[in-house]
């Protein structure tokens, strides 16, 4: 078991090259099963979720090789269409392979996905959409048994702008005869990245970033070299770390427009945020005020993945901030751990009221999910004394060697492997 030992109270200074986006590379990896050739993915972060995706690809018969931040996938000769229960349980995003496998193999067998426990996240939107395209899907003993001898394009209206469902439809529709329209599609930047990757392979997809996406199916798809977009949530986390601990940090390679809602909240709380085309700089005295109500919403609203780190940054200081979590029911699991550090946070349903306190104290803390773990890391950096952070397997799902990044900025963070 690994733990992080963090000694807080040190301001952060320096420059960070932001890693590739987890929420972009996972659907892109699923899309590589469509290519009858080699795909070379650059800026591919070394995360446990990425390793799980690579294991799924190997189980399907693809060849996968990593060298530095480049991952090479050759799915020319897929031999399988079944994903084991063990691999499905490792991450929620494993369900994104369903559309790609059906499109390539005409059949798929997988169990229901695992991942962070953030409350109900049913995949009914995925299954309904795939059925509309012509897939036959049965649920047998906790497994999905799917076949798609022929897929036909159609208009699919999503009741909610689900990112995963939008991506699964995009992948399956590349093999469908005719045109598929996704109405009410998710608008996240990662959807645009997936569209760009598919088009680079020879697909014809347009409209990503808007609520209507059109996919012309039936085109042969080939291998490609592609660079994954930077991770806007990781960038937001490092912004929150600098805001909480104080200092002056510049993030490189990020699109400031994707961080506008987080930047606005931190600016209102007393930070100075300046941006250029691909850089964001944050300066903070480390003792923040409150912000206006933070209300999570689908993109371009405030990202639910950034809610916990921003809450941790605003826990120390003065002023009151009200958070309203509209996306997931269990997004406040980090609150009890922050309260152990001395934070004043009251939760009722989907609303959390954060009253800034003069100081936080180091404590023994447990990560319960990916972004909650990031929030505890942020809080520990601003706390007095030493914190011990456990449950790092959650953190490793989305952050590539975070201790090294923070030490380079001047933080005192050490990962210790315990027997």
In the set 116, 146, 240, 271, the catalytic residue is 116
Tell me if residue 116 is catalytic: yes
Q: Which residues of 95-108 are buried (b: 16+ CB within 10 A; e: fewer)?
A: bbbbbbbbbbbbbb
Residues tagged active-site: 116
């Amino acid at each position: 078991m690994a733990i992080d030992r963090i000694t807080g109270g040190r301001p952060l200074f320096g420059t960070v090259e932001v890693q590739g986006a987890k929420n972009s590379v996972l659907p892109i990896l699923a899309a590589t099963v469509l290519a009858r050739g080699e795909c070379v993915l650059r800026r591919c972060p070394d995360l446990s979720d990425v390793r799980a995706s690579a294991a799924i690809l190997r189980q399907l018969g693809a060849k996968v090789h990593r060298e530095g931040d480049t991952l090479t996938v050759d799915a020319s000769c897929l031999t399988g269409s079944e994903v084991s229960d063990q691999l499905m349980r490792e991450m929620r995003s494993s369900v994104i392979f369903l559309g790609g496998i059906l499109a390539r193999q005409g059949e798929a067998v997988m169990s229901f996905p695992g991942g962070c426990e953030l409350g109900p996240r049913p995949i009914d939107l995925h299954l309904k959409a795939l059925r509309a395209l012509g897939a036959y899907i049965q649920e047998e003993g906790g497994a999905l048994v799917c076949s798609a001898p022929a897929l036909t394009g159609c208009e699919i209206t999503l009741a909610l702008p689900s990112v995963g469902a939008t991506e699964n439809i995009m992948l399956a529709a590349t093999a469908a005869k005719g045109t598929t329209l996704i109405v009410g599609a998710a608008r996240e930047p990662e959807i645009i990245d997936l569209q760009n990757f598919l088009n680079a392979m020879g697909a014809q997809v347009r409209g990503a970033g808007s609520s209507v996406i059109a996919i012309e199916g039936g085109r042969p798809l080939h291998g490609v070299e592609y660079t994954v977009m930077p991770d806007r949530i990781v960038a937001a986390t490092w912004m929150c770390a600098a805001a909480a601990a104080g200092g002056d940090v510049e993030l490189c390679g990020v699109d400031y427009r994707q961080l506008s809602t987080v930047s606005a909240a931190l600016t209102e709380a007393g930070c100075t945020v300046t941006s250029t085309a691909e850089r964001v700089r944050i300066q903070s005295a480390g003792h923040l005020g409150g912000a206006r109500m933070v209300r999570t919403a689908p993109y371009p609203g405030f990202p639910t993945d950034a809610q916990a780190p921003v809450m941790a940054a605003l826990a120390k200081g003065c002023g009151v901030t009200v958070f309203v979590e509209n996306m997931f029911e269990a997004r406040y699991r980090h609150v009890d751990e922050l309260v152990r550090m001395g934070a004043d946070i009251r939760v009722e349903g989907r609303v959390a009221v954060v009253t800034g306190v003069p100081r936080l104290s180091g404590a023994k803390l447990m990560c319960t999910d990916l972004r909650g773990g990031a929030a505890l890391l942020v809080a520990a950096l601003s706390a007095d004394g030493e914190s011990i952070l456990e449950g790092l397997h959650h953190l490793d799902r989305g952050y590539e060697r975070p201790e090294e990044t923070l030490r380079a900025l001047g933080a005192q963070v050490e990962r210790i492997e315990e027997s």
